Amino acid sequence: MRKLPLVALSVALSLQIRPCSPQDSNWNLTGWHLVWSDEFNGPALDSSNWKAQIGDGSPQNPGWGNRESEYYTDSPDNLRIVKDGALSVLRLTARAQRHGSEYYTSARITTQGKRSFQFGRLEARIRLPQGKGLWPAFWMLGDSFSSKGWPSCGEIDILEMQGGSDAAILGTIHWGGPDRRHESSIPGVCRLQSGVFADGYHLFGVEWDDKAVSWYMDGTQYASEPVTQADRAAFRSGKFFVLLNLAVGGDFVAYQIPPMGFTDASMDVDWVRWYQKD
CA distances from 158 to 91, 120, 243 (A): 18, 13, 10
Q: What is residue 2's predicted lDDT score, i.e. its pLDDT?
A: 58
- DSSP letter for each residue of 202-253: EEEEEEE-SSEEEEEETTEEEEEEE--SGGGTHHHHS-EEEEEEEEEBSGGG
Per-residue pLDDT of the chain (278 residues; tens, 9 = 90+): 755 444 434 333 344 433 333 345 667 888 999 999 999 999 999 999 999 999 999 998 999 999 999 999 999 999 999 999 999 999 999 999 999 999 999 999 999 999 999 999 999 999 999 999 999 999 999 999 999 999 999 999 999 999 999 999 999 999 998 888 999 999 999 999 999 999 999 999 999 999 999 999 999 999 999 999 999 999 999 999 999 999 999 999 999 999 999 999 999 999 999 999 99
The pLDDT assigned to 179 comes to 84
Query: In this structure, what DSSP letter does residue 68 have?
Result: B
- Say what the pLDDT of residue 147 is: 96
Cis-peptide, bond into residue 43, ω within 30° of zero: no
> Which is nearest to 269 in space by CA: 84, 29, 62?
84
Q: What is the pLDDT of residue 22?
A: 37
* Burial of 113 per CB tally in 10 Å (0-12, 13-18, 19+): exposed
| Residue 65 identity | G
Compute how many other C-beta atoms are within 10 angstroms of the C-beta atom of residue 76. 12
Residues whose CB is less than 8 angstroms from the CB of residue 253 and which lie 6 or more positions away in sequence, other chains included = 132, 133, 134, 135, 162, 163, 164
Domains of the chain with CATH codes: 13-19+42-259 (2.60.120.200)
Residues taking part in catalysis? 155, 160
Q: Which is nearest to 192 in space by CA: 20, 9, 12, 15?
A: 15
What does the pLDDT read at residue 8?
A: 38
CA distances from 260 to 83, 131, 133, 254, 264 (A): 29, 12, 11, 17, 12
- Cβ proximity of 53 and 100 under 8 Å: no
Q: What is the pLDDT of residue 41?
A: 96
| 69 touches 249 (CB < 8 A) | yes
